[in-house]
Amino acid sequence: MIDVASSAIVLGASGGLGSAMVAEFLNDPAVGQVFAISSKQQPSGLGDPKSARKLVWLTSEYNETAMAEVASQLVPHAGTFSRVCICHGLLHSDTLWPEKRLEDINGSALQDIFHSNTVVPALWLKLLFKILKGQNPCIVATMSARVGSISDNHLGGWYAYRASKSALNMILKTAAIEYGRRAKNVKFIAFHPGTTDTALSKPFQATVPTGKLFTTEFVAERLAIIMDSAEIDGELSYLDWDGQSITW
């Protein structure tokens, strides 16, 4: 159970899944305050007037200096956090696209995707360590992907995205070991949301089987259920939206 005084953090809060997690926590009476961090300003109409009073929206660029400034604003609330969702993710943009063959690999695109999918979450885990450490059980869920599984790769392609998510999983695994020694109240989850109706998946939705394109609200609810049932065991769990383990 979540302590009634507990708070939640959503990082990458303006994206499709990030905003859904903000709404999920705002509607959870067991969460007293929600800190949402995004590079964009707070959108209008997020939460009803009553629940919206629980929301603290902080803006930040995703470089270490700016992120450290945001972390410093969370220090007065250290030890109160029970839920953290790291929702950063980049698959494509106006200037890059998932690779279909080796010839498509581009160094600049690799760096952009690794920065968003791997570097930024790693920096958050570093900057939040002292803030999350304490007596309050805390679940940290990071948006990974099934395509980050090395053993489950049967189609190839998507070099940068696959590799960045595999690297993210290793960062999470290593951090879970260290947190397990130094912050025993924290549990890590690498979460595969399935194909969700967001801007990230929009160009690829035509090939999604019927019933397998999920709404952001559904995924947020599923993740909240998984986080509520997670045990503090010092391990990293690699789970899909249905709570099923994924092979590494």
As a whole number of angstroms, the distance between CA 233 and CA 180 comes to: 8
Mean pLDDT by 10 residues, the chain (248 residues): 73 95 95 96 74 90 97 96 96 91 96 97 98 96 97 96 98 98 98 86 70 89 97 97 96
User: What are the residues whose beta carbons fall under 8 Å from the beta carbon of 198, sequence distance 6 or more?
Assistant: 15, 16, 17, 216
pLDDT score of 197: 77
As a whole number of angstroms, the distance between CA 6 and CA 74 comes to: 13
As a whole number of angstroms, the distance between CA 2 and CA 134 comes to: 14
CATH topology of domain 7-240: Rossmann fold (3.40.50)
DSSP three-state, residue 127: helix
As a whole number of angstroms, the distance between CA 170 and CA 24 comes to: 28
User: φ and ψ at 184, to 5 degrees?
Assistant: -70, -5
User: φ and ψ at 143, to 5 degrees?
Assistant: -70, 105
Query: How far is the first Cα of the chain from the last one, in angstroms, to the nearest whole number?
Result: 29
Domain boundaries, the chain: 7-240
As a whole number of angstroms, the distance between CA 38 and CA 60 comes to: 6
- 136-147 as b/e: b if 16+ CB within 10 A: bbbbbbbbbbbb
- Identify the burial level of 209 via C-beta atoms within 10 angstroms of its C-beta, where 0-12 means exposed, 13-18 middle and 19 or more buried: exposed
Return the sign of the alpha-carbon dihedral for residues 150, 153, 156, 162. negative
pLDDT score of 49: 66
